[in-house]
Amino acid sequence: MKDAKKILQEHGFVLKKKFGQNFITNDTVLMEIVNQAQIQPDDRVIEIGPGAGALTAKLAIAAKSVTAIEIDSTLQPVLEETLQDYKNVELIFADILKWDLKKYLEQKYPAENMKVVANLPYYITTPIIMKLLEEKLPLQSITIMVQKEVADRMQAQPGGKDYGALTLAIAYYAKAKIVMTVPPHIFLPPPKVMSAVIHLQLKQSSRQQSKMAVLPEAVNSNFNLSEKQEKWLFQVIGAAFEQRRKTLLNALANKGIADKEQIRQALGTIDLPENIRGERLSLEDFIQLSKLLAKN
């Protein structure tokens, strides 16, 4: 493969901070991301933000095909050069947050379960992850480089400072594991923070399977919640953590989730003390609580 750094220089490409362009310059790290994503020769991969194509090229060698979605169309000549030897790469210039990935997958790969691999732009890490999870795409796994601090929040345990709405959203849809921590100097330019690669293995029924095995419409997750119940669960979780220093009772009542007496009763039913804070509740606790507080 042609050296991405050299090609960037030849094209006089100036990296754009506004797009979170911190490119990986270390070959060992790139290989390790591909290893941790457990890419097999039959896998179809989606990459978000190929940049100069360094990770894309490694993925193209390991996988059957790569669909790479990049917002910055001025990278087109660079990518065409770095990836000229790889015929199994499809480049799409679009904003991943606006682009209809679901429709693309339905039309192009109706019978496949995909793997997402990316060194994400840090300014929109959470919206990208939430899009991938909430749209119930046919994904097997998501392996992404993110800020270390965000990775810690994704796999936190109840009770700690990192535990919150993001942790619970991830736990609902996937099993998360930090597989690698990386220092700033492997990026061009180096970011101010430590980074980590996190692997999310999607739960069997929290993703739409390929067309062959579509789930019954109302059932969206391992927890057998309807779409309405799922939305309500995340409203309850959102309210609990918006004022995380308050007791759960006050936080939920202040946000109008239910009146105090109802919340007291619901907490009692699931054997939780009245003065508990949201950060102490597991996902299963929140599911039970949200069912008890459901408005008909």
| Distances from the Cα of 64 to the Cα of 40, 60, 86, 90, 245, angstroms | 8, 7, 11, 12, 49
Q: Does 57 bind ligand SAM (CB under 6 A)?
A: no
Q: Which is nearer to ligand SAM, 58 or 136 (CB)?
A: 58
Q: Does 229 bind ligand SAM (CB under 6 A)?
A: no
DSSP states of 214-253: PPPTT--STT---HHHHHHHHHHHHHHHHTTTS-HHHHHH
SS3 content of the chain, % helix, strand, coil (to 5): 45, 20, 40
Q: Which is nearer to ligand SAM, 101 or 166 (CB)?
A: 101
Q: Which is nearer to ligand SAM, 124 or 281 (CB)?
A: 124
Sheet holding 65-70, edge to edge: 89-93, 65-70, 44-48, 114-119, 139-147, 195-202, 174-182
Residue 161: name the closest of 251, 241, 275, 233 by CA. 241
List 45, 46, 54, 132, residue binding ligand SAM (CB under 6 A):
54
Binding mask 20-49 for ligand SAM (x = CB under 6 A): xxxxx-----------------------xx
Q: Which is nearer to ligand SAM, 72 or 230 (CB)?
A: 72
List 44, 58, 60, 70, residue binding ligand SAM (CB under 6 A):
70
Binding mask 237-276 for ligand SAM (x = CB under 6 A): ----------------------------------------
Q: Which is nearer to ligand SAM, 58 or 277 (CB)?
A: 58
- Do 70 and 121 form a contact (C-beta atoms < 8 A)? no
As a three-state string, the secondary structure of 256-280 is CCCCHHHHHHHHHHCCCCCCCCHHH
- Do 168 and 283 form a contact (C-beta atoms < 8 A)? yes
Output the CA torsion sign for 229, 235, 238, 244: negative
Q: Does 50 bind ligand SAM (CB under 6 A)?
A: yes
Size, binding site for ligand SAM by CB under 6 A: 22
Binding mask 101-140 for ligand SAM (x = CB under 6 A): ------------------x-x--x----------------
Closest-approach residue to ligand SAM (CB): 49
**Phi and psi at residue 239, to the nearest 5°:** -65, -40
Q: Does 83 bind ligand SAM (CB under 6 A)?
A: no
Q: Which of residues 4-23 bind ligand SAM (CB under 6 A)?
A: 19-23
Q: Does 97 bind ligand SAM (CB under 6 A)?
A: yes
The token pair at 286 is 């929140």
- The site for ligand SAM (CB under 6 A) is made up of 19-24, 48-51, 54-55, 69-72, 95-97, 119, 121, 124
